[in-house]
Amino acid sequence: MAIITLKDVNKVYRTKEIETLALENVNLKIQKGEFVSIMGPSGCGKSTLLNIIGLLDVPTSGTITIMDDTTGKMNDSQLSSFRNRNIGFVFQSFHLIPSLNVAENVALPLAYRSGVSAKERHEKVAEVLTRLGLSHRMRHFPGQLSGGQCQRVAIARAIIGDPQIVLADEPTGNLDSKMGQEVMDILHQLNKEDGRTIVMVTHNESQARMTDRIVRFFDGRQVE
Amino acid sequence: MNYFRQIYYEMKHQKMMTWVSISGTALAIFLVMAFVMVDQINSVEVAPESNRSRILIASGFHVKNQKGMDSSTSGLNLDIARRLYENLEGVEVLSYINAFNDNCDVNLPGQEIFTMAPKNVDNEFWKIYDFTFIDGRPFDEAEVKSDAKLVVLTKSAARSLFGEEKVAGREIEVDAYPYRVVGVVEDVNPLLSSSFANFYKLCNIAGIKNDDPYFGSANVVMLLKEGVSAESVKTQVENRYKMIQSEFSKEGYEAVYHGQPYTSEEVAIGGYGSNNGPDLDSHNVVQWIIYSILILLPAINLSSMTRGRLRHRVAEIGVRRAFGAKRNSIIRQILGENLIITFFGGMLGLLFSIIFVWLASNMFFSMSGALEQSLEVVNARPDLGMLFRWKNFFWALLFCFVLNVLSATVPAWRASKVEPAEALSFAR
């Protein structure tokens, strides 16, 4: 069963002078529980695709259906709520908020979800950080952590809201190979144990080969 | 969430911008609160003028030649004063004060002479103003009727003359005439102009010989009953003006009504004694224009500072949006954080304005030449209690809030409008 369906998706960036076709007629189905890698050279539209799947950006044309919901008619507020409940993000440069400690960073998605008490939030943060081996770092700030620890915090933040879909944009791009492998192990664990659907943009062929499927892009077009 | 931590973080990592924002806010609130404080000194209720909102004063009387050739304003003739102001509905106490309060030479027989500011008052005066008696008592009705030579000294006057405060019953000389001290009261701040004096001389205004049919030396001070509006009394007085007008017309004159009796605020803004009455509405409009300019100009600058600070946080806003923050959450977050900065800067500004107005009071509060010679005026400053009022604190809070809304709403709205993908790409 497809959890994500992209149909005839095009994305054009327009400035006064030029038009850039970032995605051209993309048709893609990702099954529930699948771990998909998206590969291609820089500037081929991988991150644009991930932003569109994550509802962080809107396509110029085409439709996106996620968990049977067609997202094109959702307003900004509905898109925010949908992202909050169903999609987790892991970024290459972690994007942790420097003024918040680890626990507060991880709790961020729950802070924007109505009906979650502070007690529930604290319990969930403790549970997720324990799972990722970071319970002793709860009160630390991002600046006090290593790159690998930062990315584990970012993964904790991505999954605390229990989303079915995790989107990872080059999650090991800023890490050395050992830490990168640790992060990949965690993502595989989330996929196998929790059944989460993971879509990962990567340049690393060997990491991609360990996923269920590789989707390749070139100049905005899906080539494989 | 975690607004304070965010501010602390910004203070550490965007030191200059954050401190410039705080300083700019402090300066804006300092300026506007200095204006508010100077203005509110005229209405602040402190002893012995604790009932300022219920006190009305009538001092001038404007008579105009009906041909428009001549126009004069002077003090009130006692007869006119009685016809205009006695037995008005809603008035609890009415006192006549002699308008001529030239400084006097005061001394103990054969000893050093001090120049002091008197106030010539009757027995009713003490019922309007809540003086604190350290010794003795005020004048009574019988003493006023008998035109006795009595005075009430202020504490500092008593100390200057006698070296002590408990001097009721002792004798002094005022302009070489013997007077008996019947009481000693706490000093009055010179800014409380309708009650200030170095000493209070008994005055039976009815006993003053006056041949002028219109003008004289009577000032009228009245205390309204609780809940009675100044407007209702003014309306009665206006009607009495109309009643006496028929007599004036026969002589070819017109008694011009300018809205007497005046409130303390009206007295303070001037027009008092001139051929025009005070225009409180125009005064208030001017004040609000000044406040608006003093808030708007810094708000424009602070808005740029807020935008500058937010430029460093675009990626963070993108992250928040990615994880479910709605636009209004982002706006709330930014306004909340900015309000803390504004509040912090605002309280600094309020503190500076109190200190500044207190230290530089001579620049703001002018004294008449006569008063400047009197004992206390050399050190005339508003009491800190007159400046730090809860009302002022709430005004400062209100101005902070307005400044925050003006300086942060547009940057917050613009930040919230940035698409999450665009915001996230900012840090890539």
Please work out, in degrees rounded to the nearest 5, the angle formed at the alpha carbon of residue B359 by the alpha carbons of B119 and B281.
65
Q: Confirm if B157 and B196 have CB atoms less than 8 A apart.
A: no
Of B6, B315, B323, the CB nearest to A84: B323
Residue A173 predicted with pLDDT over 50: yes
Residue B324 predicted with pLDDT over 60: yes
d(CA B138, CA B371): 23
Nearest residue to A91 (alpha-carbon basis) of A175, A11, A154, A181? A154
Residue B68 predicted with pLDDT over 70: no
Find the residue in A nearest to B5 (Cα): A99
Please work out, in degrees rounded to the nearest 5, the angle formed at the alpha carbon of residue B140 by the alpha carbons of B217 and B50.
75
* Residues of A engaging B, defined by a Cβ cutoff of 8 Å: 47-48, 51, 54, 56-57, 76-77, 80-81, 83-85, 89, 91-93, 95, 97-100, 104, 108-109, 111-113, 157, 161
Residue B359 predicted with pLDDT over 90: no
Convert the pLDDT of each residue in B247-284 to its tens digit. 878 778 888 888 889 988 888 777 555 566 777 788 88
| Segments forming the whole domain that contains residue A186 | 2-222
Residue B376's pLDDT is: 52
Give the SS3 label for residue B239. Answer: helix
B6 contacts A112? CB cut-off 8 A? no
Q: Which of B49-58, B176-185, B190-199, B301-310 has the highest mean pLDDT?
A: B176-185
d(CA B402, CA A13): 39
Convert the pLDDT of each residue in B162-220 to its tens digit. 999 999 999 999 999 999 999 999 998 888 888 889 999 998 877 666 667 777 778 89
d(CA A23, CA A9): 7
Residues of chain B positioned with their CB less than 8 A from the CB of A91: 319, 424
Q: What residues contact residue B186 under an 8 Å CB cut-off, 6+ apart?
A: B47, B131, B132, B134, B154, B155
Do the domain assignments include residue B367? Answer: yes
Residue B380's pLDDT is: 64
**To the nearest whole number, what is the mean pLDDT of chain A?**
93
Q: Confirm if B302 and B403 have CB atoms less than 8 A apart.
A: yes
A85 contacts B2? CB cut-off 8 A? no
Q: Confirm if A165 and A87 have CB atoms less than 8 A apart.
A: yes
Q: How far is CA A178 from CA A175, A182, A184, in A?
A: 8, 6, 10
Convert the pLDDT of each residue in A206-220 to its tens digit. 999 999 999 999 999
Do the domain assignments include residue B347? Answer: yes
A98 contacts B9? CB cut-off 8 A? yes
What would the mean pLDDT of A122-149 be, rounded to a whole number? 94
d(CA B104, CA B401): 51
Q: How far is CA B183 from CA A139, B156, B195, in A?
A: 69, 13, 16
d(CA A17, CA B414): 24
Looking at residue A40, which CATH number applies to its domain? 3.40.50.300
Confidence of residue B69 (pLDDT cuts 50, 70, 90): low
What would the mean pLDDT of A125-146 be, rounded to a whole number? 94
Confidence of residue B378 (pLDDT cuts 50, 70, 90): very low
Residue A73, both tokens? 């008619």
Residue B426 predicted with pLDDT over 70: no
User: How many domains in chain B?
Assistant: 1
Residue B12 sits at the chain A interface (C-beta within 8 Å): no
Give the least confident one: A185-199, B187-201, B315-329.
B187-201
Q: What are the backbone dihedrals phi and psi of residue B97, each rounded to the nearest 5 degrees, phi first?
A: -120, 140
Of B5, B324, B420, the CB nearest to A100: B5
Task: State percent of chain B over pLDDT 90.
Answer: 32
Please work out, in degrees rounded to the nearest 5, the angle formed at the alpha carbon of residue B327 by the alpha carbons of B322 and B328.
135
| Segments forming the whole domain that contains residue B362 | 3-45+281-425
Instruction: Label residue B123 left, alpha or beta by phi (over 0 means left) and psi (-120 to 50 means alpha).
Output: alpha
Nearest residue to B365 (alpha-carbon basis) of B47, B42, B48, B27? B42
Q: Which residue has the higher pLDDT, B60 or B142?
A: B142
Helices assigned H by DSSP within A21-101:
46-53, 76-86
Confidence of residue A130 (pLDDT cuts 50, 70, 90): very high
Residue B2's pLDDT is: 63
Beta strand pairing call for A197-201 and A35-39:
parallel
Please work out, in degrees rounded to the nearest 5, the angle formed at the alpha carbon of residue A160 by the alpha carbons of A154 and A165.
85
Convert the pLDDT of each residue in A154-172 to its tens digit. 999 999 999 999 999 999 9
Q: Which residue has the higher pLDDT, A74 or B70?
A: A74
Q: How far is B427 from chain A (nearest CA, A)?
A: 8
What would the mean pLDDT of A45-66 be, rounded to a whole number? 94
Q: Which of B59-63, B117-121, B257-261 has the highest mean pLDDT?
A: B117-121
CA torsion angle A147 A152 A158 A161 (round to 10): -140
Report yes or no for ipTM above 0.85: yes
Q: How far is A56 from chain B (nearest CA, A)?
A: 5
B8 contacts A80? CB cut-off 8 A? no
Instruction: Identify whether B118 is preceded by a cis peptide bond (ω within 30 of 0).
Output: no
Do the domain assignments include residue B410? Answer: yes
Confidence of residue B304 (pLDDT cuts 50, 70, 90): confident
Residue B369 predicted with pLDDT over 60: no
Q: How many CB atoms sit inside 10 A of residue B207's CB?
A: 11
Q: Confirm if A199 and A36 have CB atoms less than 8 A apart.
A: yes
CA torsion angle B5 B6 B11 B17 (round to 10): -160
Give the least confident one: B73-77, B339-343, B357-361, B418-422.
B73-77
Residue B367's pLDDT is: 54
User: How many domains in chain A?
Assistant: 1
Find the residue in B nearest to A50 (Cα): B421
Q: How far is CA A32 from CA A2, A4, A164, A211, B232, in A?
A: 6, 8, 8, 14, 80
d(CA B304, CA B306): 5
Find the residue in B nearest to A159 (Cα): B323
Q: How far is B349 from chain A (nearest CA, A)?
A: 27
Q: Which residue has the higher pLDDT, B294 or B154?
A: B154
Size of interface A-B (CB pairs under 8 A): 78
> Starting at the edge strand that comes first in sequence, how are the strands of the sheet with A19-31 ordered?
A19-31, A2-14, A61-66, A69-70
Residue A99's pLDDT is: 87
Q: Which residue has the higher pLDDT, A158 or B388?
A: A158
What would the mean pLDDT of B126-137 be, rounded to a whole number? 95
CA torsion angle A42 A44 A50 A51 (round to 10): 90
Find the residue in B nearest to A174 (Cα): B428
Do the domain assignments include residue B311? Answer: yes
A112 contacts B323? CB cut-off 8 A? yes
Residue B3 predicted with pLDDT over 80: no
Q: How far is A151 from chain B (nearest CA, A)?
A: 14
